[in-house]
Chain A
């Protein structure tokens, strides 16, 4: 047996070959396309072009070319999009690992480059493989709150995705026709991936594919439940928001950041201390106690909490004051404008967040004071929180202290 990986006879697995690589490649072509599109959609959901407080990537330039006003319908839009993005990403990990395994002998090709085109293609593969792993690793770490990557998750994952997709599209254009040919032909072409001196097989290629699919199914089955309540959530055995709900009763549903973690003190949220400051475009300012808010007309909305980390709750029954009624209170009787929402929270990436006029105008957009028939719990944003249909979780600001209406 050859000792050097640069020798073709070093690689002995009888599984490697164009058929296996092509099957895995076609699965990734579909899967990664969905990941990229749902990622772009998730980015747009933050309305980064609305206000600097929503924008973690102000240098995006043309990469934000497709941005649009994020809608409020259907109200489960972000929940579905982000559930697909994260769950599919985790499900594809075995496929990615298998695909990389199937082509690893090519890393040791000699001569390193046969032509300029080949040299450029190999350089592009560094961006492809490095980019894919970078995106999967930052995503998987972020959903587990393990912030060891060097910088803001939003910046790294967003720009990393564009570097990766540039290499991915080139790779797909160069390789997809060949992959489809490999799959259509029953007989396998001779190819550098086929071991010249294969070891005795321990499993068939179909068996190997079942194995990869089994890995995906296992990850899917222990993750997807974190998008549902009750018994289904308990099936998500290893997902961060799987298992039992945190607590019971009306407030016993998933929490992104607790009051204690966000540094919210009871002294700041008490009836005596807390005031909601509402400012209009003309400088018109009102200060409201919680009792003032309770005296205003109340409305209900059944809306979920859906997090960028790929977990969500089913619809909760929120009750509170419409944002457009609060806008009217400070002079915006017709066509409510955008609003800047500020939390009592002293630190945290989204302690200030902006909502667009279409979100403010939606009759289901509330400054909620109660959920599921009871006052909000401290962890769900007592004394008052924002809840907007289809908005990402972090834009549903908790412990609201100030609303500034006006075009942003």
Chain B
């Protein structure tokens, strides 16, 4: 039907084949440079960085910043507010999530983005519906560029994955930047420093 007609038209009209270019290669910058750049970018895009020395430090942060009764959620077993997600929950259940904290696969220095996949989210909607977002980044997992990023991702399978760079934002009203559009109002990176 339409499929056949469209494909036939394309086959007729497409030009002579051209080759794909070589992959871009870059030298790897020093670790300290990468970490500094990442921190700089997080601040630039409206997030904040909290340096921690063990994962459990996140519990202290949550206690300090959120009142008792605030709904805190995380798929991370090391945290006090670990949530045993079944994967069968109605996503609407998470509408009143105040803070959600996730473990990231890695972070990208050039743009402050972190990569999270569904298996680390508890529920796909959670990183977006929560009012405030926390992301655990291990320093040794910070890469320099997006090219490195996709190299790390490789052929990994996932149903859903996302790069998140800072809190949600918009500048649609007269180019005035406002943090907190439809996704999280704030983004805190818990940067777990590697042992020297």
A joins B in a complex: no
Residues of A within 8 A of B (CB): none
